[in-house]
Amino acid sequence: MKLLNFAQALADNAYFAENVGKYLSKELSHITPKNTPFISYGGSYAGAKSAFLQAAYPDVYYGSIASSGVIWAGERFWEYYEPQRIHGNRTCIRVIETVADRIDQLAKVGGKPWTDLKTLFGVETLEDKDAANTISYPVSSWQSKNWDTSLPGEDSWDTFCANITTDVQLHKENVKTLTPYETTQGIRNYAAYMRGYIEDNCLSGGSTVKQCYDTGNPANYSNIALANDGSQDNRCWSWEVCQEFGYFQSAAPDNHPTLISRLIDVPYLKRICSLYFDLPPDHKIDTAKVLKYGGFNLTGPRLAYVDGTYDPWLYATAHSPYSPQRHENSEKSMLIDVSWHHNDENGLGDISKEPARIQKVHHQEIDLVGKWVKEFHQGNN
């Protein structure tokens, strides 16, 4: 794991470009960055790699397209939930806010009212923060949404919202008018959905709720093998999170509406660093190792950004409300309306059958790369 860091990951890409020709047939051995335009394209973490290759290895990668490229890094990333809070179905969002608010109210009260709420949601055996965290799991399904409705999990968010808003009228979901002990139809719907969620994802497999959702159990972090399966992929990403990126998706600040309980704070989420890697609780994540490539200010003559207005990672990309590039109007700046996480990575063999907004960005990407390739060969005569 000591060799797993972002600088090494970028160096791997550069090594590939500089050496792949040695392993190809003789007639293709000329393929090197000197003779061939290497173009990097990636989404999310790989989008950041694509962007930063233009800063770290501009002589190796002639151009890059960064789709949902997370070019900013920081420990607290509460803004992850902002795009869905702003753009999600209003009734659904209000129910979620109501549940988060009710958790915070009753957790402060403690005793039977709080135990009763945990029991309602099927998480009574969990400590408070784990209970709140487990209840928030379906909220993150927003990231799986896509214009291509055939993708697995694409409908998870819509199914969740449809269930929790059944027979709910928006004006009745104003939690401020309720006493701490009352529940709304939306809260009860959410609880019923969670009990089904826990049954399908945990209990039906023979595990207990505590075995599935107790994030403080050291036994859940004891496997240090680097097998190429989902659990270990997560461990590798967790290492990068704990070393350089952060991105702990905590509740919003106290003066801001939140979709998840304020029990879910950075120290709680950061606990994974101690459990996985025995790092001290006050371990400092060195985000400067990521930000040194330019952060929101990173531009390049052949660096294009593609982002989506509904992407939960929007606030860490070049089109973030915090980014000076967010209003750039050029062929290298593509912000897709009603689009989630690197949705341009999905496509159909026949582009004409894609939604108009996706067709547009795909043609723009094709034209842009074609232009770069032509420029490279003209420049090299």
pLDDT score of 371: 97
CA distance 323 to 221: 36
**What would the pLDDT profile of 81-96 be if each residue is shown by its tens digit?**
999 999 999 999 999 9
Quote the number of domains for the chain.
2
3-state SS assignment for residue 346: coil
Is the Cα dihedral 170, 265, 271, 124 positive or negative?
A: negative
- pLDDT tier for residue 328 given thresholds of 50, 70 and 90: confident
- Looking at 277, 306, 324, which one is the last position of a domain? 277
pLDDT exceeding 90 applies to what percent of the chain? 86
Cα-Cα-Cα-Cα dihedral of 66, 72, 76, 80, to 10°? -30
Q: Is the residue at 372 inside a domain?
A: yes
**Contact in structure between 332 and 305 (CB atoms under 8 Å):** yes
89 and 238 within one domain:
yes
Q: Give yes or no for a contact between 266 and 105, defined as CB atoms under 8 angstroms apart.
A: no
Residue 356 belongs to some domain of the structure: yes
Q: What is the DSSP string of 229-284?
A: SHHHHHHHHHHHIIIIIEEE--PPPTTS--SS-TT--HHHHHHHHHHHH---TTPP
Q: Are residues 336 and 231 in the same domain?
A: no
Confidence at residue 272, expressed as pLDDT on a 0 to 100 scale: 93
- Are 248 and 363 within one domain? no
* Element housing 89 (H / E): none
Confidence band for 168, pLDDT divided at 50, 70 and 90: confident
Last residue of a domain, one of 223, 246, 277: 277
CA–CA gap between residue 313 and residue 129 (Å, rounded): 24
Instruction: Specify whether 56 is located in the same domain as 91.
Output: no
Q: Which domain holds residue 360?
A: 6-73+295-379
Same domain membership, residue 159 and residue 259: yes
| 16 and 39, same domain (yes or no) | yes
Residue 352 predicted with pLDDT over 90: yes
Same domain, 23 and 99: no
- Asked if residues 193 and 164 have their Cβ atoms less than 8 Å apart, the reply is yes
In a domain, 183, yes or no: yes
DSSP codes, 90-125: HHHHHHHHHHHHHHHHHHHH-HHHHHHHHHHHT-TT
Query: How many other C-beta atoms can be found within 10 angstroms of the C-beta atom of residue 22?
Result: 9
**Identity at 264, one-letter amino acid code:** I
Q: Same domain for 62 and 116? A: no
Contact 274, 243 (CB under 8 A): no
Same-domain check for residues 210 and 316: no
Residue 282 located in a structural domain:
no
Rounded Cα distance between 127 and 217, Å, is: 11
Cβ distance 158 to 77 under 8 Å? no
Lowest-confidence pick of 257-261, 275-279, 359-363 = 275-279
Instruction: Say whether both 255 and 138 belong to one domain.
Output: yes
Q: What is each CA distance from 28 to 25, 37, 186, 378, in whole angstroms?
A: 5, 14, 62, 20
**Separation of first and last alpha carbons in the chain:** 44
Return mean pLDDT, the chain.
93
Residue 299 has pLDDT above 90, yes or no: yes
CATH number of the domain that 306 lies in?
3.40.50.1820
DSSP class per residue in 309-331 = TT-TTGGGSTTSTT-TTTT--ST
Structure tokens at 49: 């790699």
The pLDDT, as a whole number, for residue 219 is: 81
Same domain membership, residue 99 and residue 60: no
pLDDT score for 25: 95
Q: Look at residue 32 and tell me if it is in a domain.
A: yes
Look at residue 286 and tell me if it is in a domain.
no
Tokens of 53: 């290759």
Please answer whether residues 162 and 89 qualify as being in contact, where contact means their C-beta atoms are separated by less than 8 angstroms.
Answer: no
pTM recorded for the entire structure: 0.94
Confidence of residue 268 (pLDDT cuts 50, 70, 90): very high
Instruction: Please report whether residue 1 resides in a domain.
Output: no
**Domain end position, chosen among 229, 249, 277:** 277
Tell me, yes or no, whether 290 lies in a domain: no
92 and 221 part of one domain: yes
79, 315 in Cβ contact below 8 A? Answer: yes
Distances (CA, A) of 9 to 1, 37, 81, 165: 12, 20, 28, 44
Give Cα separations from 300 to 127, 223, 297, 376 (angstroms).
Answer: 48, 42, 10, 15
Catalytic residues: 44, 311
Q: Furthest-apart CA pair in the chain: how many Å?
A: 78
